[in-house]
Structures are given as C-alpha cells and as structure tokens.
Structure 1
Amino acid sequence: MLPSFSYVTHHVGFCGTIKNSPSDFVVTEIEVPEQLQGVTRAEALQRTGEVLLEHSSPCLQQPRKLRVDPLALPAEACPAGASRPAEGDPSWAGGGCSASPNKNHHEGEPDLKPGLKENNALDSLLGKSMSDLLNKFACDLKDAWDLESTADSSTREFSLGPIPDKKTRADLHSAVRQKFPFLVTATKDSEMIVKGNADYRELCQLVTEKETSDFFKFLDAKLENSTFSFEPDGNKEHRKIVHHFISRKFGKLLETKSFTVTDVNDQPNMSIVVRFREKRWSRKRSAGGFQEKQDVYTAFTLQKENLETLEAISLLAAELGVLPSDFSYTGIKDKKAISYQPMVVKKVTPERLKEIGSKMENKGMRIHNIRLACQHLKLGQLKGNHFDIVVRDLKHHSHDDSSADLKKRISEAIENVETKGFVNYYGPQRFGQGQNVQTDQIGLALLNEKMVKAVKLFFTPEDTDDPVNDAKRYFLQTEDAKGALGMLPEFKVREKMLLRALHRYGVNHEGCTKGWLNIPHSMRIFYVHAYCSKIWNEAASYRLQIYGSKVVEGDLVFSEHDESFFLNDKVHVVTAPEESANKYSINQVVLPMVGHSIKYPSNKVGQWYHERLSKDELQMCKFRVSPLQLNIPGCYRPILKNIQNVSYFLQSNEEGIGIEDNYLNESKVSLHISFDLDPSCYATVCLREVMKCDL
C-alpha cells in the first residue's frame, strides 16, 4: 500500500482488482542476449571484467557444503555442518584416522618456490630493510599480545607498499603466512597490508601457541585429504569450546571430530582431529600431470507459482544438496504470480537438475531449458520484465461521474501513463505481505544492530490462526526455539534456519547474531534493502511535493544515458545556471538509495534525508553491519520511469455479452493488459498510476 504517495499524471482513472489468481499476473524476464555462450570461464571472467579479491585469510575462499540440522548433532560436534562425530569412532568417512599425540597428518608444509625459504624468501621479495621492518612489526605485535595490551594491538597495521605484480603478491602472501602464522595479509589497490590475526590470538587462549602455529600452517597449506591433530585433552568441556571455535571461524572450510588416542603415558585419551571438507561437484582436467578443478554451472529457466524467489531457491537447494548461495539470478519476482526467470546453479550438472523436475512440480515449480553455462548470473543483469496482467471487476471511482464512459476512462489512463510515465516507487511486495510487521522494520533493527529485536520482529505473528502464526506466537511467548521448530511446516525455510541456530546458541544478542548468519546472505540483506527502499519511496514523494516536475538546483541527474546507477562519477549536481536554462528534464533526475558510497542532493531533499535517518537513529550509520557481513554501498534510482510496448483489450466476464459502450457500466468487465518495464520497476506501481488507486 502506498497511501500518501504522489502521482505524475492527472487523469481520473478507475477501480479494479489484480492478482485474483496467479494466472492473472504472469511475469517473464527479458534476458540479456547470451553473448558469452560457448566461451571458457576464464574468457568470460575477462570479458565481464570480474576481479577476484586477493586476501590471505583462509576464510575468504571456503568451499561450501550443505549444512545439516544442528539439532541432530551432539553438543561436542562442530555445529556448522560437520558430519556427526562420535567419541572413540576409529574411522572417518573417506578414510581411517588414528590420531596420536603431537603428530599432525598434513605431511609437512608445502615447499615454497626456490629461494623463498624463511628469511631469505622475505628478503628477496621485499629487500632487506623492508623485511627487517616487517620482523620488527611482528615482534612488537607479539609483545603487545603477551602483555595483554589490547588498546591498539587489534588495529595495528603495517604496509609493505604497492606490489603491482600479482605473482609477487601471491608469493608474499605465502611467505608472510609461513613465517608469521599470527599475521594476515590483504591487498588493497595493489598495496599489501599486514596485521595481526585475531583468530590466531583467540585460539592461543585455548591451546598452546605451538599448536596454534601448527594449526594455522596446516590451514594455509590446504593440502587435500590432510588432517591435523590437537594434543590429547581429557577435559570434555574444553574440547567442546575448541570444537565450537573452529566451527564458528572455519565451519565452512573445516570439520572436527574427537578420537580416542594414546597419550605420552600410554593411557587412552581424547584428541580433536581436524580435516578439510570435501569439495563437491568438481570437474578435473589433466594437463601435463596437473589437475585443475572447475565448478560446473548449469543454466535453466525457473517457472514458479505462488512462491517467493528465495523460498523457491531454498527448496531447490535442499533437494539438490547444495547451498542457496550456489544459485544466482538477476532479480526477485512476485510471489502471487506465475513467473519465468533464468537462473544458474553451481556444482550441479544438467543431468542432476533434470532428475528433480517432477518433484519440484509438486512444490509449485517447473524447470525448463536446462543447459550448461560458463558463469553465474548477477543481480540486475537483465533487460527488463514482460507482464501479462488481468484487472478484474472494473468500475468507476466513487467520486467519479457514474454516467461517464468507463471505456474512455481506461483508454485515457493508459495513453496518459504511456506518454508521461509513472513515479518509480518500490512496490508493496518489497515490504512483505504482513500487516503487523513489514520487512523494512526488520531491516532497520539489523542496521541498528539490535539483533534480538530483529528476531522478535521476524517472528511477530499475524492475527490469524494457522500453523505458521501459531508457531511464531509460541516462540515469542516461550523462546522455545526447538518447540517452535517442530510446529512449523517444512516450506518455511527461513524460519527453520533461524530457529535451529537460536536453539543452539540461545535467544540473546550473540545467539541472534549467529541466527541471522545462519540465513543465506541474499536473505539477510533483503531486509536491509527493504528499509532503504522505504526511505527512497518517502524521499521521492517529498521531492515531487516540494519541487514538482521542475528540475532545480541541487538535484542529482544522470547527464548521459547509462545503466550504471552505482557510479558517483555518472551523477551530476544541477547548478543554478542549469536550472535557469532548463537544461535537464525530470526524467533524468535520480535519488540515492541510502548507503555508504552515495552523495545526497544539495537542496532541501538532501537535508530531508539526513533528518529522516536521524529519526531512525541512523545519523551515524556507516551502512556496514560487520557482524552479519552486510555491506550497503547504495545506488541511484530514477524518480520517473516509462512503460513500453503496451497493448490491451477489454473482455466481458459474462458469456454472450460483447464489449459495447453501453454495457461497460453495467456488466462485469476485465482489462487484459501487457507491457514491458525496465529492471527493478514494479508493475503494481505502474498500474497504480494508471488506475489512480492503491492495489
């Protein structure tokens, strides 16, 4: 509902209803031409200009695997998806393991390239003076840690300077980590930065420094089928803490189990053994004895009915045994509709996707046009959407002359919007279907890092009695996550993901943070984007109310036709002489979606943004929620948009009655309308402008 929002056109309009059934609202994504078809992945990446981030932290390149239900795991098991460990289990799936004290099964460390051994490696790569400075930085940092000086040790950084050659940077990453496992390195615009590894320091509080150092060298080596054993530990509670640390920090990369071993006194004891998770769906190509692993990408068209896009992806992921994040798509489609959209799934072959087709039909989905692809899809990578919509129960507005020609009203409305466009609001589906709590409220709580409040808003029930709302009501009353989990139907994937984590970690700030992290990134950021969308809608209304369709000084415009609505250098601030000369039209005016990398209008609209964010306690917000790995740079969105390729006809709902002018006011008539819209435009918003009523 958009009750107080502006219109750009001035016709009377008409009333009617949409989405009486999914077949009344059909959305087909207009795909970008497949210009990259048949090229290799490397060529595709080169053509699209995709840049891979260089970073030495092992967490940034973790292989992904479907998480199993944490409720099925014992307390000591790694809760982030490890296979079920058993104390004393003599073997591990995929090969036996007999851990012994002080013995690590990673077959030594990987050899650095010739000339890159210990000090010589750093001396040759950095030069003696810079190598000495790095040594001093490392020693000073360790001294600060030993003295428990936390005031600045966590923020200390050391720059190795710009290293333009990528191969040299890679060698440096490896050499620094091998000599100083307690350091991490990162690259920013070819400059290499070194700082302390907070994870290393935390593990040092749990085990010996030698074990910590050996563990991080094992982690850095990433040798396939290798394992690492911590020293024997008879304290079950302490082992549990170590299990949880590894799960929390490296759960997607590593899995842990406890095994019975013989300690130095020839007595049976327990030891934690760590191994790398198996990579699934890899394709090997032999080239002179070297095997290179590549992901399989499968493209398909998803037809769904009465399902959210993210809900459909969760169901597909569960059936295929991959993560929801292994799916890529170009946009979110309506729930109460029949929609067709291209998707790409990683680590799944076309044959495997075909196998699940019949099962998915029972869940409101069909899979078409299955084929191999060379890369994933990106959000916004589409030409637009085509809509085929039926508007039923047409009639005059209550304030309109009932004797007026309804057919003429409809024709006038469509032609007017086709000529002048519509206000480019985010549609009501952006904010969820709930009446008590909408998604933007959850997004605001996440931006304020009020994790418990966000969880309780998420589980706020509607005023109806059904299994979903009963489960939500029960959880809010009892905070019994396990009990609520058992009450929820299987299709409520997001709710179940969150409840599993809350059952494990508790309904407190830390537990709720981990709960949100248990939901895929695309789902987490959806709520924050909903809040940003609400602010944009309000800003658009304010801008049109105070300035109308005139372009004024301080407005932001795109001075050239460009679809890169994220780039500040494409945005121009209108000057006073440009306003006087009427240099720009209202169709070129854009407003920012709030974020950390946008600029605001320099007129009253910019002042409004700052006051509005202050009202929500976001005046100091950096639009980065680090605990949830959310980064919101912001972008720009045109105030007005145009409808394209419009066609329509009227149809009587009563057999044998034709569409004559004298029948339009008396019989039930439906409007069948088809049109195209640019990406991120909402058909419901366009129809609102046509009909002059909220839908």
Structure 2
Amino acid sequence: MASVMFLPCFLRFCAFKSGNTWCGKSELTTTARGMESDSLSCFISDHEGFHGTIKNSPQDFVVIEIGINGQLVNSPDVQEEHTKGPSQPSQATKRDDKSKQSKPDDTDILNQDCFDLNVILGPAVNKELEHFTNKIRVKADEEEQVELSLGTYPDKHLRAVVHRAVRYNFPFLQTVTNQSEIRVREDPDFKELASLASEGEAEEFFRFIDAKVPGSAFTFLPDDSKEHRTSVHHFVSRRFGKLVETKSFTDQQKTSITVRLRERNKQPKKRTIAECQEEKDEVTLYTAFTLRKENLETLEAISYMAAVLGVLPSDFTYAGIKDKRAITYQAMVVKKISPEWLLDKVSEFERRGMQISHVRSVSEPLKLGRLQGNHFDLVIKHLKPHGNRELVELQQLVKDGVENVKNRGFVNYYGPQRFGSGSCVQADQVGLALLKEKMEASVKLFFTPEDGDDLQNKAKRHFLLTGNAKESLALMPAYKARERLMLRALHRYGSGQEGCVRGWLSLPHSMRVFYLHSYCSRVWNEAAKYRLQKLGFKPVQGDLVWAGSEKGLKDTTEDVNPPQVHVVTSEEEKDDVFSLDQVILPMPGNSVKYPENLLGQWYQGRLAQDGLGSCRFRVTPLKLNVPGCYRPLLAKPQNVTYSLRIAEKLQGQSDETCAPNLTLSFDLDASCYATVCLGEIMKCNLS
C-alpha cells in the first residue's frame, strides 16, 4: 500500500529538491522509494489536492489493455486486427503507426527470454553438462568426437525447449535427437567460424541463426582484410546460404559484413515438391488469448505458462508490460501451441492466479507497442484534506483535481516503474555505465543488492565480495533468469572487461537496450521539468512540435510516412499558433533533433555532465543503438468518471474504517502512467 500526502511547494506549481531535502512540508511517504525515486514534481494545475493511498489491494488497481482497434481486450466481441489475414491498413491503423513515432520502442520495457538449464534439465544433468563443456574447452584441439546424453524426452514440445535452451547457453554445442534421446557434442561449424572471427562473435552469430527473427540482421566487427572477409562470406554462404545472405559495407572507412535473413519472396522460384512440402510444414502456429493476472509480473506469468505448456518464454509475445500490484488484462500470443492445447491447461493456470479467455488461432505474433492504450479502474482509499481543511470540503477538492486534469492533462513523465524496483541502484544508472562503455562498472551496478537477506541478494553480495561467479550462480534462485545468464557467462569468460561484455551479450537484446532507454527516460523527465520551470506554460520559439500539427490541422493528414519535426518560430509564438499539449520533447539518441532554445542548451549540458557530451548513443561491443524518439510534453486522460463515497461514522467505528474512498476510471494512451496522472490529481508523487 502506497501512502501519499500533499506537497505544497510550487514555482508555478513546481516543487524543488535540493540534495535529499524537500522544500515545504515534505510529508510524503511511500512503501517504495517515495520522493527519492524521481523528480516528478512539476504540476500544471493550481488545485490543492488531497491525501490518499493507492494499491491497497490488487482489486483497487485494475488495468485493461485497449487493443489497436479500440476495444478492451476483455470485451466479449474482441477481435484484434492482427488476427485477420493480410489486408490493406485502415486509416485508424495508419494514424496509430504515425503516432507511435513519438513513443520509444519500449521496452519498457523487459522482453526477457528464460533459458535456465537448471530448471529445464534439472540440477544434476545441468551440472553434468557444464562439466562436459569445460572438458571440450580444455581439449579443444583434439579430433576425437565426444558426446553427452541429456536423457530421454518423449514429449516433442519439451525436446524443442531442450534443444533451444542448450543452443542458447552453449552455441558451440550441437544437439541431436535419436528417437527420444537428446545428445550433445561440439559443433564443427561453430569451431570453424570461431577460427575466422572471435569466439564471442561466433556465439552471437549462432544465436542469431537459431532465433530466425524475421527482418533481423547480424553484423560482424569491422575487418580490414579483404581476404579474411572473403573467407567469412564463403563460410556463411556454404553453411547457411539458403537461410541468409551476406554483404560488405563501409562506414567511416571501416568495412564490416552484415548477414540478413532471406525474405520468402527472395527464395529461388523453382522448388522441388519436397521443398514445397517442407515450407508448408514450417508454417508456424500462433494462438492468441487474453490473460487476466493478479499480483503477478507479466514475465513471471509468462515463465510459469511456458513451463506448463513446454515452450520457452520467448515464444510468448505481448503489446506491453502490466503492473504487478494490480489485476490486469492484456492480449498475448503464444507460438507453436494450438488453442485446444492452451485450453487444456486452464485449470493449472488458475492455480497461479491467471485466467485465460478469448482463445483463438491467429496468423502472426504480437509486437511491443501494438495497442492504443490502457483503461484503468482505480480505488483511492483513506482520503482526507491536507492541513486543517474540513472533511466536508473534500468533495470540492476531489472535483477540482479530477476536472482540472480532465481538461488540462498532466506532465507526461515516465513513472517509477520505468527505472526498476530497486532503491539502491536503478536501471538508468546501469544504462549510463553502458553508454560510457564501462562494462565492469555496469556489471557491479547490475549486481548491487537491495536491503534484505533473500537468496538473490545473498548471491549478489557474494559475487561483489568474492568475484566468484560459480559460487554466486549456485546461490542465485532459479527464477532469476537474467542474473543466472550473466553469472554463467562471467564464470566462463571471467569478470574482466571482455568477460563483462560476454555477460551482457548473454542477455536478450531487448533487455540490454532497456537499460539505455531507462537512462534516456530519466533525462526526458528532467528535461520536462526544466522546460516548464524556465520557459513557462506556452510554446515558445525553438520548441519542437510535429510538422502539420497547427490548430485545426492536427488530424487531417492521412500520410503514412513518419511525421517531421517542426521548430516553432518567433512569429508562431507571438500568434499563439500552437498550444502546450502540441509540444514534444526528444528522448536522447543519435537521430533526434533537439530544441533550438534554452532547453536545447540544457540537453547538451546535461549529457556533458554525465560524460556523454560526444556520445553517439551506440554501444558497439554490445550491438546496441539508440536512435532516440519524441514524446509529448503533456498527456490527457479520456473517458474520465469518478465517485466519492463518504460514509457516516457510526458509534464504535474507527476513523480508518469509515475513511472516504474515491472510485476513478479513465483511459490513457500507450506508455502513459496512471500513477503520474494520479499524482497531478492529488498533488503528490506516487510510486
């Protein structure tokens, strides 16, 4: 339960923080990080606000995803657009694709794969496999082919899980099935590529090949030797020519090889009957459903469902991550599972607080960000006015707060969820270390423990104290997939600079880039506060807006090309051509335009302060690139309704029992935070 209170210190409704001390009556308390979490302290309305608590129970915070077609995903007639066959995009889809240009590929964030062999194989077999891989490393030059049996797996789904997990953790191994038995041995193709490139590149290349993500590409490190590049071209073409194509390109006088998956329409036109049948057999089965979960993280729910269904967590796709401390409804798609098989496991899911509905076959997976937004049904309890105001005034305080935000909106900050749940080290600090390519420091930050003596914190403390990744891995709980993948890589390659790079590369790309996005989100929050404090509450010369977004023209264009950024001129400022809700702020990156006013100078100084003055927002060793994006300065809730219940206190009842409650419902666009919206209504910061 998060308790929040009024914070009455403003500069045109802005609160300031100096060190760890807040000006004014800093009475805010939360069970999470409270005011230390962020500087979300700038408001745009002048109502007084009120005290209250949120998330008293999951039932008090209900989140329902709004699909791309505008329907709630739990509505009886839900029919996601992606379930239909190929068709021309509707105008609504075009507008949505255009609007998404202003939102980052969030990864918000956390599309995590779990390939924990300790869980999949069991501790005993996993330990035997690690001994086997160490033996291969020691005897790398021997010609003798050695094998290890991982046991018998009659279920074909489970065999597929074992094959993929082993290959992901040990790309240098080859897995083969003999009837139901799975055996592993050293992969000669991996050995050949490792002799042409580095072993780390070979590992990442084979993971890329195994993943077969449509439209993806892999780039080897720059290579000045044409003869050597030719050898790499020949190897890839000979071994994977039917699947991929290679091409050399030069950037800043350095030449690299890029490998791309072949598109289906680029396959040879003439195919044998056997090849046609093989392609038909490879058509992937997708099943869509709506997941209702309670007091569960999205990835935690996915991990459990994957174990029950015998697939990998990466076989699930979704449009966005949902709160843990809530009841949430969201669309999901699972690969390689039939609707019948999914429905057969409903009772097992229900035992873990999950319910499945709207099960149907679809033609493709979901993509992150493919939603219009979220609907919220909230209950705020224990309301009371601030200071010495009378309880009878509460109804007016609530009305003022809700109506102001309904009409004027709120500052579109990223909420505390964006930066992780840790109070010691947050994700943005890890992201900053990665952008500065301080790999060893980033790993130490990654393993910084929180307060508490649970197993994961004991494992983290042990690693930081001893540097022994193997012993720390034995302590780390099986469900902490990211930490275990990192520790396994550090055990194999050491904890120096190169080992830390290998450790980060062992995590999925979406997880690596999440930390960079988290840092950029922190800068965006600070930029929004600075913009309002220094430049006021009207668009000014040098601000950024979308081109063609003048009043009366905002929604008239049907052009599907990405919108262009327009810089507000002095004449437009004078004539009030734009309103504050049309202003956009850039998320730092290598492809964004910065404001041409005081705020643009602030961005430069802020990045330089963190040692990123010349940063290209690329982390080449980790294959990460942050182009940046634009985010509206303000957001506004839609379809707002509310009801205040003030119960009459009866004899013998405590003040706690009869405290007023506020029921509040509204819709928000994707990537907007309900806690930030509530913060504007109540005039406080929520976490």
TM-score by length of 2: 0.67
Matched, 1:601 2:592: no
Match of 1:25 among 48, 61, 76: 61
Per mean C-alpha deviation after superposition, the further-off stretch among 562-571 and 537-546 is 562-571
Q: What letter corresponds to residue 365 of structure 1 in structure 2?
A: M
How is 1:28-39 mapped onto 2 (pairs within 5 angstroms)?
28-33=64-69, 34=79, 36=81, 39=84
Opposite residue 9 of structure 1, the aligned amino acid is: S
Q: CA deviation at 1:524?
A: 2.0
What is the aligned partner in structure 2 of residue 651 from structure 1? Answer: 645
Task: Say which of 271, 280, 293 aligns to 1:304.
Answer: 293
Partner of 2:333: 344
Q: Taking structure 1 as reference, are residues 403 and 591 closer, same or farther at Cα in structure 2, changes over 3 Å only?
A: same
- Do the aligned residues in 1 keep the contact of 2:543 with 2:596 (CA within 8 Å)? yes
User: How far apart, in 1, do the equivalents of 2:354 and 2:399 lie?
Assistant: 36
Quote the offset at 1:569 in angstroms. 4.2
Mapped pair 1:11 → 2:96: no
* Residue matched to 2:683: 692
The equivalent position to 1:332 in structure 2, one of 321, 333, 349, is 321
Distance 1:369 1:609, change over 3 A: same
Structure 1 residue 14, shift from structure 2 partner: 0.2
Match of 1:530 in 2: 518
Shift of 1:522: 2.3
User: Residue 488 of structure 1 is aligned with which of 451, 470, 476?
Assistant: 476
Indicate which of 564, 577, 602 corresponds to 1:570.
564
Instruction: Report if aligned partners of 2:114, 2:303 keep a CA contact under 8 Å in 1.
Output: no
Q: Which deviates more from structure 2 when the two are superposed, residues 302-311 or residues 20-29? A: 302-311
CA distance in 1, matches of 2:525, 2:374: 21
> Relative to 1, partners in 2 of residues 1:577 and 1:504: Cα closer, same or farther, differing over 3 Å?
same
Rounded to whole Å, the distance in 2 between the matches of 1:645 and 1:397 is: 28
SS in 2 for 1:495: helix
State the superposition RMSD in angstroms: 4.6
Following superposition of structure 1 onto structure 2, how do residues 113-512 of structure 1 map, counting pairs within 5 Å?
A: 215-222=235-242, 291-292=279-280, 293-398=282-387, 401-402=389-390, 405-512=393-500
Q: Secondary structure of the residue that 2:52 maps to in structure 1?
A: strand
Instruction: Return the TM-score normalized by structure 1.
Output: 0.66
For the residues of structure 2 that align with 1:505 and 1:623, how far apart are their CA atoms? 26
Q: Deviations over 1:356-377 (max 9, x none)?
A: 4344444443332221111222
Structure 2 counterpart SS, 1:551: coil
- Separation in structure 2 between the aligned mates of residue 475 and residue 288 of structure 1, nearest angstrom: 52
1:346 shift after superposition: 2.6
Q: For residues 404 and 650 of structure 1, do their structure 2 counterparts lie closer, same or farther at Cα, with a shift above 3 Å needed?
A: closer
Q: CA deviation at 1:91?
A: 8.2
Tell me the alpha carbon deviations over residues 527-572 of structure 1, each in whole angstroms, 9 at most, x when there is no partner: 2111111110000000000111111000001233469999874321
Aligned partner of 1:640 in structure 2 is: 634
Distance 2:513 2:39 in 1: 26
Q: In the alignment, is the contact (CA less than 8 A) between 1:44 and 1:375 conserved in 2?
A: no
Number of the residue aligned with 1:619 = 613
Contact 2:41–2:684 (8 Å) recurs in 1: no
Contact 2:385 / 2:394 at 8 angstroms: preserved in 1? yes
| Correspondences of 1:99-114 after superposition (within 5 Å) | none
2:239 aligned counterpart, secondary structure: helix
User: CA offsets per residue over residues 578-607 of structure 1, 9 Å max, x none?
Assistant: 111110000100001111111000001111
Partner of 1:592: 586
State, as a whole percentage, how many aligned pairs show the same letter: 48
Residue aligning to 2:27:
none
Deviation at 1:327, TM superposition (A): 2.7
Cα distance, 1:511 vs. partner? 1.9
The amino acid across from 2:488 in the alignment is R
CA-to-aligned-CA distance 1:285-310 (integer Å, 9 cap, x gap): 98976743322222111222333333
Return closer, same or farther for 1:16/1:96 CA change in 2, 3 Å cut-off: closer
User: In structure 1, the residue corresponding to 2:604 is in which secondary structure?
Assistant: helix
Q: Is the contact made by 1:2 and 1:428 (CA closer than 8 Å) also made in structure 2? A: yes
Q: Contact between 1:623 and 1:632, CA under 8 Å: does it hold in 2?
A: yes
1:188-207 per-position Cα deviation (integer Å, ceiling 9, x unaligned):
9xxxx999879998899xxx
State which of 677, 682, 685 in structure 1 corresponds to 2:673.
682
Deviation, 1:519, is 2.0
Counterpart contact for 1:498–1:518, Cα < 8 Å: yes
SS of equivalent residue, structure 1 residue 405: helix
Q: Is the 8 A contact 1:551 1:585 kept in 2?
A: yes
Moved more, 349-358 or 324-333: 349-358
Matched, 1:81 2:166: yes
Distance 2:175 2:450 in 1: 51
| Partner of residue 280, structure 1 | none
Higher-Rg structure is: 1
Contact 2:649 2:655 (C-alpha < 8 Å) held by counterparts: no
Partners of 2:292 and 2:355 in 1: CA distance: 5
Tell me how far apart the structure 2 counterparts of residues 542 and 602 of structure 1 sit (CA, whole Å).
Answer: 15
CA contact (8 A) 2:469 2:490 kept: yes
Distance 1:294 1:525 in 2: 30
Q: Distance in 1 between matches of 2:484 and 2:221?
A: 38
Write the distance in 2 (CA, Å) between the matches of 1:626 and 1:90: 31
Alignment gaps of 5+ in structure 2: 1-36, 70-78, 98-112, 119-125, 138-163, 183-187, 190-194, 197-214, 245-256, 262-271
One-letter amino acid of the structure 2 residue matched with residue 674 of structure 1 = S
- Deviation of 1:316 (Å): 3.6
In 2, distance between residues paired with 1:473 and 1:80? 28
Task: Tell me, in whole angstroms, the C-alpha distance in 2 between the residues paired with 1:627 and 1:675.
Answer: 44
The one-letter code of the counterpart of 1:372 is S
User: Could you list the runs of 5+ residues in structure 1 that have no partner in the other structure?
Assistant: 51-63, 98-102, 105-144, 147-186, 225-248, 254-283
Which AA in structure 1 matches 2:293?
K
2: CA distance between counterparts of 1:504 and 1:564? 54
> Using the alignment, how far apart are the partners of 2:220 and 2:81 within structure 1?
38
Q: Which residue of 1 aligns with 2:206?
A: none
Change in CA separation of 1:547 and 1:475 when aligned onto 2, cut-off 3 Å: same
Query: What's 1:673 paired with?
Result: 664
1:566/1:321 Cα in 2 relative to 1: closer, same or farther (>3 Å)?
farther
Aligned length: 525
Change (3 A) 1:592 1:363: same
Per mean C-alpha deviation after superposition, the further-off stretch among 504-513 and 570-579 is: 504-513
In the alignment, the residues of structure 1 paired with residue 458 and residue 479 of structure 2 have an alpha-carbon distance, to the nearest angstrom, of 15
Query: Against the structure 1 CA distance between its residues 429 and 65, is the aligned structure 2 distance closer, same or farther, given a 3 Å change threshold?
Result: closer
The residue type paired with residue 536 of structure 1 is W
Match of 2:101 in 1: none
For CA contacts below 8 A with separation 6 or more, give which structure has more relative contact order. Answer: 2
- The CA distance in 1 between the partners of 2:62 and 2:327, in whole Å, is 5
- For residues 302-332 of structure 1, give each alpha carbon's deviation from its aligned partner in whole angstroms, at most 9, with x where no partner exists: 2223333334334444544544443322222
* In 1, Cα distance between equivalents of 2:662 and 2:676: 17
Instruction: Provide the C-alpha distance between the structure 2 equivalents of 1:617 and 1:528, rounded to a whole number of angstroms.
Output: 15
What corresponds to 1:628 in structure 2? 622
Q: Please give the secondary structure, in 1, of the residue aligned with 2:642.
A: strand
SS where residue 366 of structure 1 aligns?
strand
Specify the alignment match of 1:552 in structure 2: 540
Equivalent residue of 2:534, what SS?
Answer: helix
Are the equivalent residues in 2 in contact too, given 1:26–1:388 (CA < 8 A)? yes
Amino acid at match of 2:166: G
Contact map agreement 2:116 2:485 (CA 8 A) in 1: no
Q: Which amino acid aligns with 1:450?
A: K
In the alignment, does 2:87 pair up with 1:93? no
CA distance in 1: counterparts of 2:481 and 2:601, whole angstroms: 41
